[in-house]
Structure 1
């Protein structure tokens, strides 16, 4: 050793005194140290096979019983038959209610229509009385006769019906007696001897009773 070697300082030694943690370990070893089981270090670890995209496979679930009913109880044939009978009865009841509702609505529509037509025709009865009076005087001729016939035809098409002729049996619900005369012998019941003004009705609606002279048989 020369004098130059003795004067040269010794080389510096750097020592890392920090404890090696999981971050300082390699990737596979670090994951095994962090998430691995805290078991015997010498025992080999058994890893689960990864699922799709590297994820562990979920635990398998047992399939549900296809024949289980509510609450897991099996449904028998008697229970199914009882449910079927209940649903059938419900459908029949709903259908009957709907049929009754449809009939009621149709009946109400017809009643409203008859009332509306009756109100209109009641306002036209004086016109018909004037036509009858003019016809009795022989004034319904030529063009006026055509108008009168057309009007009476259209009113009949709407359901207007006239009643009250001589010889009809007297009915207090349809005839209004304005006078009484003695009936011929042998007449069994009162009759209309003379019609002063005809009556009119639409369907079951009485618009006006007929004014008549009643031939009353003797007691």
Structure 2
């Protein structure tokens, strides 16, 4: 082989600080003692067990890449959880709607309670009035026995209990001789005139009436006496007759 055909020598330099054998290498640019410049250092040629320099940078580059992407992964959830524009308005509207619904339900429940209480009270009153109405004929018999002097002994005890039961129901009797006649309280079955009265008067009570509170359960049956000479009604002042005179 001639000198012109000689191929240039390929030199592979291994710059790792730690030799595969475990020995510490001298950094590049520094020559160990006893070695001339330009001379290849022992062990600079890559052996078949050496790893290329590109592989050594791989883990560091991978770590750097991971470190570079880590902040982006950490900030992604924050961006997703950030409040969007208009979210406060939507929450306020939903809160107002829920508050309005709650107020409407509360008002409906209060009306329901009042209606139930009113109906319950009405049912109790109607039951008490029906029961009292069934006792009225018995009370009439008791009053007739009292007028004839037959209310005595064991019959008087029973009569007192029945009258007490009627009082417990809240029913009270009305209608006495001498009361002024009231069509809403009295039922006139007899009629006469007398000079002793000045207004229509219930002179005789044939049957007592009963009422419970303001409600009349039974009208009183009476005989009405009217005055013989009714008092003329007073004419109001400034009447046409006075004006003509």
TM over 0.5: same fold? yes
What CA deviation, in whole Å up to 9, does each residue of 1:113-132 have, x standing for no partner?
A: 11122222212211111100
Q: 2: CA distance between counterparts of 1:66 and 1:190?
A: 91
Specify every segment of 5 or more residues in structure 1 that has no aligned partner in the other structure, as ranges.
1-43, 49-58
**Contact conserved, 1:197 with 1:211, CA < 8 A, in 2?**
yes
For residues 87-132 of structure 1, give each alpha carbon's deviation from its aligned partner in whole angstroms, at most 9, with x where no partner exists: 3333223222211211111111111111122222212211111100
SS of residue in 2 equivalent to 1:173: coil
Equivalent position of 1:161 in the other structure:
172
Which position in structure 2 is the counterpart of 1:202?
A: 212
For residue 124 of structure 1, the aligned residue among 128, 132, 135 is 135
Corresponding position of 1:65: 81
8 Å CA contact retained: 2:208, 2:219: yes
Gaps of 5+ in 2: 1-54, 63-72, 231-245
Instruction: Please provide the CA RMSD for this pair.
Output: 3.0
Q: Is the 8 A contact 1:163 1:199 kept in 2?
A: yes
Q: 1:216 aligns to what SS in structure 2?
A: strand
CA 98–169 in structure 1, closer or farther in 2 if over 3 Å, else same: farther
The whole-number CA distance in structure 2 between the counterparts of 1:66 and 1:163 is 82
> Do residues 75 (structure 1) and 87 (structure 2) align?
yes
The change in CA–CA distance for 1:118 and 1:82 in structure 2 (over 3 A counts) is: same
SS at the partner of 2:87?
Answer: coil
- Greater Rg over alpha carbons, structure: 2
Q: Aligned residue pairs: how many?
A: 161
Change (3 A) 1:130 1:185: closer
Q: 2:158, 2:197 → 1: CA distance? A: 45
**Cα distance change, pair 163–216 in 1 and its aligned pair in 2 (3 A):** same
Residues 135 and 166, structure 2, Cα contact 8 Å, conserved in 1: no
Mapping 1:32-47, distance limit 5 Å: none
CA 1:128–1:158 in 2, change beyond 3 Å: closer, same or farther? same
Choose between structure 1 and 2 for higher RCO, CA contacts under 8 A separated by at least 6 residues.
Answer: 1
Seen in structure 2, the aligned counterparts of structure 1 residues 81 and 126 have a Cα distance that, compared at 3 Å, is same
- TM-score, normalised to structure 2, is 0.56
Distance in 1 of aligned mates of 2:164 and 2:181? 28
Alignment of 1:1-219 (within 5 A): 62-63=77-78, 64-68=80-84, 73-76=85-88, 80-184=91-195, 187=198, 189-217=199-227, 218-219=229-230
* Secondary structure at 1:165 match in 2: coil
TM-score norm. by structure 1 comes to 0.62
